[in-house]
Structure 1
Amino acid sequence: MTDQPVRTEADGDVWRVTLDSAGTGNAVDPAMAAALGEALRARPPRTRAVLLLAEGERFCVGGDVRGFAAAADPGAEVGRLAADWHEVVRALLAAPVPVVAGVHGAVAGAGVGLLGACDVVVCARSTRIRPAYAAIGFSPDGGTSWTLAHALGPARALDLALTNGTLDATEAHACGLVARVVADDELRASATGLAHALAAGPVRAMVRTRALVRGAAVRTLDEHLDDEARLIAESAEDPEGREGVRAFVGKRRPDFRSAR
């Protein structure tokens, strides 16, 4: 429906989720948080990847500051919104399929946290990424402080957050905040093509890989080796792994879609 802040569509194997409140810069308010959470929960089981896009000139400007200004009890209302938005971030982190984001324009505030919750972020060259919390006297939410600290390191993350600084797409790519940078007019095609390519692959093995990569930051190498051994055994037992091995030996392209 056009009056909803989020639009969804099954594009073959890909569940496309589009932020569709261009007039607000796709600002995060209760309606956006609820709609995005529902969109992720509504993913058809037959789809094998999620693609997150946005309409308008800005991907997401962060929280609805005008709504904060009108709140009778701003602490309570902002706290509820943060809790709801964090469930969206958790839904992305726990998605049973790979998640690709195509971002453009302004990415600010809680929108920055979304980048850290997606598996692969494709970024338009003109994109500008800004924490923006310091401008309104807030501390970060939405996983933004975690995302920046892990991508930039504490010193650069604090410099960016405390001075209300901005990263351009090249800087975001250099520090690992985004995976790919493409020309603005190639963003949708590039992100869509990547989502379809991942959907054709061994998605359950990809989810295990995501768990390993994210877990590497909080475990010792000794602990991590145990997880790698456990998960590669699961992958070998999985129909995906069996299909991949058979295809390799048979010198043919694997058909992971049929590996159920």
Structure 2
Amino acid sequence: MNMQESEGIAWGVADGIGRIVLKRPERANAIGRSSARVLVRAIDEVIAQQPRAILLTGEGRVFCAGGDIGEFVAAGEALPALVDDILNRLHPALLRLSAQPAPLVVAVNGAVGGAGVGLALCGDFVLAAESMKLRTGYAAIGLSPDAGASYFLARRVGLVRAQQLLMLSDAIDSQRCLAWGAVDALHPDAELAGAAEALAARLAHGASASFAGIKALCAGAPGRSFEDHLAMEHQLLRERAGGADAREGVAAFIEKRAARFTGR
């Protein structure tokens, strides 16, 4: 497939799958001012093409080390302004990525820290290499979380454990990440890319309108009353019941064959 590439970020859409790749392995895929701007562009251009699944991956031994510490040091007293410049663009883009209707798969190819934790754990499905390890790192350098790291970590491992991990900045290996629910599956390093591609392809061939409804229901469930949630379930199910995918799914079930969903 043809991928655009700039500032260590590559992106494109093919066969219903949007792909975003962190390609700055010589800098541990760290996110700086320029790469953050391109990452925002990549997210928006992939979303605009309405893929049926999105796959976020990294290259090298590190998925993403977080912010570019070299830029932080160079900024000196202007560090708050640098933080604003990066996050004023990046945070809204990460919100759009997380909220878009297609299933999001993240393949965590190695170590992850800082803002990389938010990128790694924002997926609906998070697959990791056996060599993966997680270290929040913020408190160790006197900073606090960004890029949704505290939100997604707390959602996956629980509030108290997330707070402890963020305060202590200890390195957590892949087995503990799996046991605690930070990631959903582990694969040998050489098999991770294939497993992530296979999952993205499976989701891209699924009932995408159904997936969108499921994401909407689950994302807002904690802040919604049961009554409101039931009303939303009713509304979404009625909409899906009138769609082509529902007719195809029911027919395939009766005929004992694989459904051929079109996303409608």
- Write the letter of the residue equivalent to 1:34: R
Q: What RMSD in Å do the two structures reach over aligned CA positions?
A: 1.8
Please say if residues 5 and 31 of structure 1, whose CA atoms lie closer than 8 Å, have aligned partners that are also in contact: no
Residue 16 of structure 1: CA displacement? 1.8
Which position in structure 1 is the counterpart of 2:70? 66
Encode CA deviations 1:122-151: one digit per residue, 9 max, x unaligned: 111110111110121001111111112222
Query: Is residue 75 of structure 1 aligned with residue 80 of structure 2?
Result: yes
Q: Name the CA distance, whole Å, in 1 between partners of 2:51 and 2:166.
A: 37
Residue 8 of structure 1: CA displacement? 2.0
Q: Name the CA distance, whole Å, in 1 between partners of 2:235 and 2:50.
A: 27
Residue 2 of structure 1: CA displacement? 5.8
Q: Which runs of 5+ in 2 are unaligned?
A: none
Which position in structure 2 is the counterpart of 1:170? 175
In the TM superposition, structure 1's runs of 4+ consecutive aligned residues that sit over 4 Å from their partners are: none
Encode CA deviations 1:97-123: one digit per residue, 9 max, x unaligned: 211110021111111112332111111
Which position in structure 2 is the counterpart of 1:93? 98
Query: Is residue 223 of structure 1 aligned with residue 219 of structure 2?
Result: no
TM-score by length of 1: 0.92
Residue 3 of structure 1: CA displacement? 5.2
Which position in structure 1 is the counterpart of 2:19? 16
**Greater mean alpha carbon deviation, residues 217-226 or residues 56-65:** 217-226
- Relative distance call for 1:166 and 1:233 in structure 2 (3 A) is farther
2:201 aligned residue (196, 200, 205): 196
Residue 79 of structure 1: CA displacement? 2.1
Q: Which runs of 5+ in 1 are unaligned?
A: none
Please say if residues 100 and 121 of structure 1, whose CA atoms lie closer than 8 Å, have aligned partners that are also in contact: yes
Identical aligned residues as a percent: 36
Which position in structure 1 is the counterpart of 2:40? 37
Q: Name the CA distance, whole Å, in 1 between partners of 2:245 and 2:186.
A: 31
Q: Name the CA distance, whole Å, in 1 between partners of 2:156 and 2:50.
A: 33
Number of corresponding residues: 259
Which position in structure 1 is the counterpart of 2:148? 143
Please say if residues 6 and 38 of structure 2, whose CA atoms lie closer than 8 Å, have aligned partners that are also in contact: no
Residue 153 of structure 1: CA displacement? 1.9
Query: Is residue 56 of structure 1 aligned with residue 54 of structure 2?
Result: no
Query: Is residue 5 of structure 1 aligned with residue 21 of structure 2?
Result: no
Other structure's SS at 2:245 match: helix
Q: Name the CA distance, whole Å, in 1 between partners of 2:35 and 2:7.
A: 8
Q: Name the CA distance, whole Å, in 2 between partners of 1:179 and 1:203.
A: 21
Which position in structure 1 is the counterpart of 2:216? 211
